[in-house]
Amino acid sequence: MLKIFVPILVLASLIAVVVSLDDERPRADVVLVHGTDLFTLDPQRMSYLHDLRASRAIYEPLATILPDGSVGPAAAESWEVSDDASRYTFHLRSGLRFSNGDPVTAEDFKYAWRRAILPDTAATYSSLFLGIAGARDFFNWRSDLLALRAAPDRRDELVDAGSFSAEEADAILAEDGEASFRRTLDRFDEMVGLDAVDPHTLEVELAGPLPYFLDLVAFGTFSPVHRPTLEAATTIDPGTGRIEEDRSWTKPGRLIGNGPFELVRWRFQRDCRFERNPFYWNAESIPAESIEAVVIQDPNTAILAFEAGEVDWIPDVRAEYRADMIAERLAYEDRFEAILAETEDADLDRTLGTLPPPDAGERRNIHTVDAFGTDFFHVNCRERLVNGMPNPLVDPRVRRALALCIDKAALVQRVTRLNETTSGGFVPAGSIPGYQPPEGLPFDPDRGRAELDAAGWRRDDAGVRRNPDGDPFPTLDILFSTGSPRYKDLSLALRDMWRRELQIPAETSGRPGNEYRAQLEMGNFMVARGGWYGDYGDPTTFLDLNHSEDGNNHRGYASPRYDELLATAAATIDPEARFRILEEAERILVEEDLPILPLCTYVTVYMYEPDRLLGLTRHPRLDQHPGRWSVRR
C-alpha cells in the first residue's frame, strides 16, 4: 500500500509546485481545471466552451442567463420590445466602466457587434447576428467587396450578379484600402438595423420576429470590447481593404473588459488568473476576489490535483474510470436518502450544510449534470443510397421500427454506464422554460416488428425478412467515428438490438473523424452516429437541423408539414402559442418520421465538494458564471 501511496503524494506535490511556479500570488479563491489552454479571449472569435466560460469573467453582455435558465439584465438594466417583436431598445446601466475606468457606452456594443458581422473577423458565431435587419445583406456585400479587391478580373461577374453597380465597382477598385473600409463603415450604418442612439441606449431592428433574441444577446460573443484597445491593434490592408488585427491585444496588461474580473496572468499551457475588477458596476456583490484556471491535460492527474486540494472544480471529468466514480456517488446517495428518511433534522440538505462523510466505496464529490445536448443516431431518409441501391429506410415505418427496438435504459446503464437521462425527444427535457418536448417512442419490440411487417418486410419460412418482391432486407450499416470508445460501444449495442429484436442483418463501420464527417455530409450511410449541443435557449437550435434546407440536415429528411410548422412558428409572436407549434413539429420528428433516433441527454461530469464550492447551476444550459462562485474554507 505504501509503495502506491508515495508516488501519489509525490505527483500531488509536483502539481502544487507547477501551479505556483514563478508566481508569488496567493492561491486563488476558486481554482478550476482546464483540460487544454484557452484558444482566445477575443469575445467575437470565441467558440469553445472554456473560452466562453472565461468570457463571463472578463466581459458582460447586455443580458445574462440566470441559474434557472431564464434571461435577466446585465450591462443593460432594462429593455423594451415593440409590439411586433422586431425592435429592441436596450438601456445601459449608468456608471458602467471598463476595467481601466473608461465608460462603457452603446457605441462599444455596436462596435463589437459590427466586428462579429464583418466577414473579415471570421467569427464562428457570426450567424447569430444575421437576424438583425440588413446584417445578412451587409455580410454578403462586404464579402463581395473583398472578393472584388482581391480579384479585379471578377468585376463584370459581380456587376452582373447585382453585387454592385458598374460605377460602384469602378470606385471600389480605384480607392485605397482605407477608403474602402470607410465605405464599408458607411454602408454598415445605411444597411444594418443597429443604432447607438445615445451613450446609454442601443436600438436593434430585426429582420423579423426572433423570440429568442434576448437569449442570443446574453451569449458571450455579444459582449462589448474596448474600442481604443482594438483600434490600436487594427490595421487595414492597403491592397484588399481587409481588417488585420494584432491578436496580442487579448494578453494580460492589454486586455480591457467590462466584466466582474480582469485578466492578470495567462501563461501558455499552464494557467490563467482573474482578479476582481474594481470598476465593475456590481463589484461588491462578487463573492470571490480571484479565480484561477490551471491547465491539466491528463484526466487522471486532474483528479489527483483535486484530491490533493490544489483545485476546487473539474468541469469535465474524463478519466476512463469515471463510471466507477459515478457508481460510488450513487452508493453515497442511497445511504444519504436512507438517512433523510429516518431523521427529522431540518438542517440536513442535499447539497449544503451537514452532509455525512462518505463511507468506504462511496464518494460525494462526483456529479453528473444534464447538459444542453442530445446523443442520437442519424437515419438516411433518401430514396436511394449513394451506391444507387434502394434504401429501405426511406419508409418511416422502418425508421419507427428501429426506434422502437432501442432499449435506451440498457444503453445508459450497461454501455455508457453514466446513467444519463434517456430521451424520446430531441430537445433536452427541462432545458427551456415553458417548452415541453414530446415523449417519443418507447422500447416496444413487438410494435417495432409490427411496423416492419407493415412496411412489407416480413420473415419467410427461413426467418429472412424479405419485401414483396422477395428481396432480402439489406445489411444495415451503422457508421461511427473512431474518436471515442463511446461511439463504437453504442453502435455495437444497437447492432445487437436490431439483430435480436427485428431479425435484420446489421454491421458497424468505424471511420476516423474527418473521413466519418465526409461520409456523413455526402449522405453515404444508412445509420450514423450523431449528437448536438444547443447554441441558444430555444427549441429551434435543435429543430432547425431537420428543416429540408438546413446545412446540417445530413439525413436528407424533407417534410413539407414539418417545414411549414417551423415557418408558422417563426411568424408567431405569442411565445406560448409558438412553443405549442414547435412541440407539434418535434412530435412529428420523434414519433412519426424518425429521421433521428434520440438516445439520451448528454451529461457533463463535474468534480467538486458540494458543501465547499458554491454558485454552480445544475440547469441543463450549464451557464456557469464566475461572478457567482465562492469556496467555503
Q: What digits encode the pLDDT tens for the residues 200-227?
A: 999 999 999 898 999 999 999 999 999 9
What pLDDT score was predicted for residue 468? 95
Number of folded domains that form the chain? 4
Based on the fold, state whether residues 631 and 506 are members of the same structural domain: no
CATH code of 6's domain: 3.40.190.10
Q: How many CB atoms lie within 10 A of CB 316?
A: 15
Residue 29, in any domain of the structure: yes
Task: For 198-260, give the DSSP string.
Answer: ETTEEEEEBSS--TTHHHHHTSGGG----HHHHHHTEEE-TTT--EEE-GGGGSTTT----SS
298-302's contacts with Cβ under 8 Å and 24+ in sequence apart are 299/35, 301/11, 301/15, 302/33, 302/35
pLDDT in tens, 61-82: 999 999 998 999 999 999 999 9
Percentages (nearest 5) of helix, strand, coil residues in the chain: 40, 20, 40
Q: Which whole-number Å values give the CA distances from 252 to 30, 270, 533, in the listed order?
A: 19, 14, 31
Based on the fold, state whether residues 180 and 223 are members of the same structural domain: yes
- 506 three-class SS: strand
Domain span at residue 391?
Answer: 370-604
Q: Which whole-number Å values give the CA distances from 417 to 147, 425, 495, 605, in the listed order?
A: 52, 21, 18, 12
Based on the fold, state whether residues 398 and 481 are members of the same structural domain: yes
What pLDDT score was predicted for residue 24? 72
Based on the fold, state whether residues 197 and 298 are members of the same structural domain: no
Q: Any alpha helices (H) in 455-512, and if so which ranges? A: 485-502
Based on the fold, state whether residues 161 and 282 are members of the same structural domain: no
Residues counted in the chain: 633
Based on the fold, state whether residues 409 and 537 are members of the same structural domain: yes
485 beta partners = none
Based on the fold, state whether residues 277 and 413 are members of the same structural domain: no
pTM for the model stands at 0.87
Based on the fold, state whether residues 77 and 149 are members of the same structural domain: yes
Q: How many CB atoms lie within 10 A of CB 382?
A: 14
Mean pLDDT of each 10-residue bin along the chain, 633 residues long? 41 47 80 95 92 96 94 97 94 97 98 96 89 97 96 96 96 96 97 98 95 94 97 94 95 97 96 98 96 97 96 95 92 82 59 71 93 97 96 98 98 95 96 95 98 97 95 97 93 98 97 94 96 93 95 95 97 94 98 98 95 93 94 87
Residue 40, in any domain of the structure: no
Q: In the block, which residue shows the cell 478580373?
A: 153
Based on the fold, state whether residues 479 and 375 are members of the same structural domain: yes
What pLDDT score was predicted for residue 341? 72
Based on the fold, state whether residues 568 and 626 are members of the same structural domain: no
Cell of 40: 482566445
Residue 47, in any domain of the structure: no
Residue 42, in any domain of the structure: no
